[in-house]
Amino acid sequence: MSRDFWRSAGMHLLARSAEGWLEVTPDFLRAYYTRPEMHPVEESCAEEVRLHEELMADPLRPVEEARLARLADPEAADNYRLVLAYRELLAAAGTVEGAYLRLMRQAKVSIPPVFVDQMVHLILRNALSGCTDPMRLRAAELFFREQSVSTDDGRLMLADEEIVEMHARAGRETGLGQLLAETGTPMRSVELDVLDEANKDIYWARSDRFDTVIDFRFGQPAPDAFARVVESWLRHLLRIEVQVEPRPSIEDPDWRWHIGLDREATRILNALYAGRTLSLEEAARIVGLFRMRIRDERMVLERVRGRPVYLGLAMDADRRLKMKPQNLLANLPLAAAA
């Protein structure tokens, strides 16, 4: 039986179209108008208060630039410009998925990264509706939440970067934490629950807390769960059926195509494709490798037909992993007809 998850994504504020995509609603737009940076405060001018009230009553109400220029607080005016540009993108597309695809086709992304991550969060909440595997949902967090990578004890642990930093900051602000910092004594690492096959049901009650850890070593459940999310992502957005499987390495003398799923992975895969031997430091940055096949060969570029597409994830020098799910959409080896 399926269970609810990621209520913070806001899917309950949207309607589902006949095609299964998320239709933008007035209530969804109102949720953005009530964000802290948008909601009037005691110091807000009368024009800002009036504008906010009008948008709450009519979320699609046109707002001229001249009106924003009249706001007493320039920062408030800039916040309105950002949110209203996002509103125009959503309204023009009609659905969150359509807006995301339009955005990814632009030469320059015109909305704040946090809004892009929220769109991905929503799209995956929709695409994974009915999912009964918490491991798959936790693996899906990589698409829209930056991860902190730890390789202690020979494991490859992924934890939410924001949660790790929040716990670390709380520790530093205690009296003991300040004393350790002053004496140069290392603080204990942040301890979070590691999700595995035995305890993964704990995820349901805390899916919006993003506070569980997964072991991403090859052979563990998490990489396979991530592979299933990649399949769902492409099926939902592009109606393309693919088969994805984790791999411990890439050993292919006839390597034709690859997609780095983040900036560092793109650099590393490009180097491998060019035949360059990686340094030990570079090799240690690889978090996951995958082999993907597009099931309908007619959709594939002729020179890639019959050959796999390799995918990669990697951490940066700060041991952080920031996935770019749009790379899966933009860099597929699709024939022009597809």
Q: How confident is the model at residue 173 (pLDDT cuts 50, 70, 90)?
A: low
Determine the pLDDT at residue 337. Answer: 60
Question: Would you say 334 and 299 are in contact if contact means Cβ atoms under 8 Å apart?
Answer: yes
Q: In the chain, where are the structural domains located?
A: 7-127, 133-338
From the list 76, 281, 302, 58, the residue with the least C-alpha distance to 67 is 76
Burial class (CB in 10 A: 0-12, 13-18, 19+), 316: middle
Question: pLDDT tens across 204-257, in order?
Answer: 999 999 999 999 999 999 999 999 999 999 999 999 999 999 999 999 999 999
Question: Would you say 241 and 300 are in contact if contact means Cβ atoms under 8 Å apart?
Answer: no
Question: pLDDT tens across 78-88, in order?
Answer: 999 999 999 99
Determine the pLDDT at residue 187. Answer: 43
Percent of the chain with pLDDT over 70: 93
pLDDT for residue 185 is more than 60: no
Cα radius of gyration rounded to whole Å, the chain = 22
Question: Would you say 145 and 117 are in contact if contact means Cβ atoms under 8 Å apart?
Answer: yes
Question: What average pLDDT score do residues 85-92 get?
Answer: 97
Question: pLDDT tens across 94-120, in order?
Answer: 999 999 999 999 878 889 999 999 999
pLDDT for residue 330 is more than 90: yes
Question: Would you say 270 and 312 are in contact if contact means Cβ atoms under 8 Å apart?
Answer: no
**Beta-sheet strands, E only, within 93-201:** 147-150, 157-160, 193-194
Question: Would you say 73 and 7 are in contact if contact means Cβ atoms under 8 Å apart?
Answer: no
Q: How confident is the model at residue 50 (pLDDT cuts 50, 70, 90)?
A: very high
Percent of the chain with pLDDT over 90: 88
Determine the pLDDT at residue 188. Answer: 46
Determine the pLDDT at residue 189. Answer: 57
